[in-house]
Structure 1
């Protein structure tokens, strides 16, 4: 599995969302931030996604299309993401994960940095982080993709809570003068 790096180009993907619509990556008129999360009942992931929901209008105003991918089924994702204001993609077979070079590691959950957000997420969402057939060891990843398909910034996480925050996504887009 080869990792993607800044300067690489990706082919256009037309992805089906959990709401049965479609989204193009990259977007024709916007910069695309595509983030790969773990599984849809992951308390760390849900805390993270909440920050993107809260600041969605700011992302839109900056010219960023937000796309979130989980290695969960559509059915599982609809339990948690049916009111999300951006594209949510189910990838239970991890086909997109493989094409973007995203890996798994036991270090995703044994790093002590993830324990506090995991407990916070468990308390906030009051759900157990379990989905049949899903691994706890998935790693997150973030990609900022220009309209041309050029990957302009990349972050492969080293543990479950190692991802870009909203401010980082906006800062990368502005620094690279792509919005």
Structure 2
């Protein structure tokens, strides 16, 4: 399935029950597809984005993160993140954007260091009673692959990446490198 080059206008409901528009006429959208609520790998990745949230906002980017878990599960595990979180337990958006579920998500050796770090971090958070333990049987399974899309206000997909394994997603620096240069007046994207 070919990756989308444009994203039709739509409204999505966040886990906070607010409505957001994609594309957003006022800013770029970084649409991230992650795995399940409580995923140790996703948690590490999203915490790296939360730490740099001011840099992301300064680049005029709105973070929208999609999980294949229910809103109730997302609130339990990820509700403290400063991003718009979207529950997609039926994987409707995943299919539309070509995000796959494959065994290689966890079997690829390139993901193993982050799996170990993520499980260790999650275990420490559970022991400190900061977070619940990751689910033993996550909604939608464990084998999802990540995906990243940078969407312009007019709906054009400026950049995209489908992950080859569970830890194959953009870093904040990679995301910021895709931001179009601003014109000399400082208004708008080229």
TM-score, scaled relative to structure 1: 0.92
Q: 1:150 is matched with which residue: 134, 153, 156? A: 156
Does residue 87 (structure 1) correspond to residue 84 (structure 2)? The answer is yes
Residue 36 of structure 1 pairs with residue 33 of structure 2: yes
Distance 1:49 1:38 in 2: 11
TM-aligned CA deviation for residue 175 of structure 1: 5.8
Which blocks of at least 5 consecutive residues in structure 1 are unaligned? none
Larger C-alpha radius of gyration, 1 or 2?
A: 2
The CA RMSD over aligned residues, in Å, is: 1.7
What is the 5 A alignment of 1:1-179?
A: 2-5=1-4, 8-126=5-123, 127-174=133-180, 178=189
Q: What SS does the corresponding residue of 2:72 show, helix, strand or coil? A: helix
Counterpart-to-counterpart distance in 1, 2:164 and 2:77: 25
Higher relative contact order (CA 8 A, sep 6+): 1
- Point out where structure 2 has 5 or more consecutive residues left out of the alignment: 124-132, 184-188
Distance in 2, Cα, partners of 1:160 & 1:100? 17
**After the TM superposition, which segments of 4 or more aligned residues of structure 1 sit over 4 Å from their partners?**
none
Count of residue pairs brought into register by the alignment = 176
Post-superposition offset of 1:134: 2.0
SS of the residue corresponding to residue 178 of structure 2 reads helix
What secondary structure does 1:173 align onto?
Answer: coil
